[in-house]
Structure 1
Amino acid sequence: MLPGPPSLRTVVSEIAVFIMVAFRRLTDATRSAVWAMWRVIRRFAHSFLSLSATVYARVGAILSGPVKQFVVGPLRVALLGQRRDVSLFIALLSPVLTLGTAWWVGSTIGYDTLTAWVRGTWFGTDPSLAIFLAIGGLVVIGAISAAVNSGLLPTSVLVGAPVFGAGVTRYGTTVTYSWGTHVVSLPEAVGIAGFFAVGFGIPIALCGFVLGRALCYVISVYGGHSGPPSPVENA
């Protein structure tokens, strides 16, 4: 006589046992994976902390030596200048030069004429003596600033201020593009002026800075030893 089909209670019990066993195995596997991952993370964190401490100690040792002396010494002087009061004076003088240049260009020659001069000088079709004189004057200003204070950033700000002021006069003018005419707004004029100050002012400032520092070096070398060496120096 063949056995009958299992009862519903038996089937449910077997399913429940299977689910419990599967859940227990899944829990054990998850626990093992999490524990293994935690050990890897802890080992990696320990190695990272050890490496960070070593790097920090070595970098601190380097920065506390010649590098620190260079950063707070020659590098600071080359970037910010020898004297803080002179650098501050240059920073306060730059807005005055910006406003003065903007007023002079706007009230005398105008932005359109200035643009024609710059284009003619740049492309060589109609060079303007005024542009060459202006560039020479900016180079002289940069050289004087570098010779007096030896600060690249103050010199760049000082030289770029007149260029920025001249570029701001673009505000309110009507420019013509291929798609039509356009009245220059204030944000656009300020953005273009900043681009001019960076694109033209910084190279001119670098030329003036190099010229000023070179003159200081020549004067310090040859000016201090203008006469023949004494017998004491030859001994």
Structure 2
Amino acid sequence: MRPSNPVPAALHRTKSTLELLVTGLRWLVAALVSGTRRLGARSVAVVHGPVTRLARGPVATLLFGRRAAVSVVLVAFAPVLALLTAWTVTATTGYPALEHRVAGTWAGTDPHAAVFVGSALLVGLAAASAAGNAGVLPTLLLSAGPLFGAAVTRYGTVVTTHAGERVVSLPDALAFAFGVAAAGGVVVCAVGYGLGVLVRRGARTVRADPPVPIDRRSNDD
């Protein structure tokens, strides 16, 4: 009787185990691929459904306004306001006097009524834009235009720094004007937009509440 050889039996068991592992891995990969496809299909459905409606509806109205033509006009009017403000500052006070007045009004050491009036006009302009069109971006650009125009008049003036006096170059003036317009425009837009929304809602409430006839009031009395 020949002695049994355990090597073929061990190889057969190892082969069977590897086949089971490969089959299990194939099933796992197929399940992952199928689950990923289903998840992707659901995500696409969500994006093309509520998210798309939200982006095209309330979000688009919030950013760009209810009427595209009005938004285009407001955006085009922003550089006109910038040029008009720059011409006004250059022809009247000049940038150094303007900077002195704004700094004195802000610190409270030398307040000027013109600074308060100009600020009120900017906020009112932003509120009117928000109340009439409800677009954040057109309102922001409309608010930033005059601020950019006033700040860019710093070009060619003499300023004192730690290195001494120097003349403000055009790149420095543009960078300064963009910074002032960005920071100040956001603040003015936030305040004006809030006021505009309140005005618009108040107007809707007044229109929705019908007036009581005079004869009815007399009968009630």
TM-score when normalising by structure 1 = 0.73
Equivalents in 1 of 2:33, 2:153: separation in Å?
57
- Residues 169-211 of structure 1: CA deviation (Å, up to 9, x unaligned): 0001110012211111111101100100111111111111111
User: What corresponds to 1:115 in structure 2?
Assistant: 99
Equivalents in 1 of 2:80, 2:31: separation in Å?
57
| 1:65 CA drift (Å) | 2.6
- Secondary structure of 1:181's match? strand
| 1:52 CA drift (Å) | 5.5
User: What corresponds to 1:209 in structure 2?
Assistant: 193
- Residues 97-132 of structure 1: CA deviation (Å, up to 9, x unaligned): 111111110111100011001111111211221111
User: What corresponds to 1:106 in structure 2?
Assistant: 90
Aligned residues: 189
- Secondary structure of 2:92's match? helix
Equivalents in 1 of 2:159, 2:30: separation in Å?
63
Identity of aligned residues (%): 40
Equivalents in 1 of 2:138, 2:49: separation in Å?
28
Of residues 53, 61, 67, the one that matches 1:83 is 67
- Secondary structure of 2:105's match? helix
Structure 2 residue identity aligned to 1:225: D
Equivalents in 2 of 1:49, 1:188: separation in Å?
56
Q: CA RMSD in A?
A: 2.5
| 1:59 CA drift (Å) | 2.2
| 1:55 CA drift (Å) | 4.3
Residue ranges of structure 1 left out of the alignment (5+ in a row) = 1-44, 229-235
Equivalents in 1 of 2:54, 2:103: separation in Å?
43
Structure 1 residue identity aligned to 2:142: L
- Structure 1 residues 86 and 52, CA gap change in structure 2 (3 angstroms): farther
User: What corresponds to 2:6 in structure 1?
Assistant: none
- Secondary structure of 1:109's match? coil
Of residues 181, 206, 210, the one that matches 1:222 is 206
| 1:46 CA drift (Å) | 8.0
Equivalents in 1 of 2:163, 2:171: separation in Å?
21
Residue ranges of structure 2 left out of the alignment (5+ in a row) = 1-28, 213-221
User: What corresponds to 1:161 in structure 2?
Assistant: 145
User: What corresponds to 1:182 in structure 2?
Assistant: 166
| 1:56 CA drift (Å) | 3.0
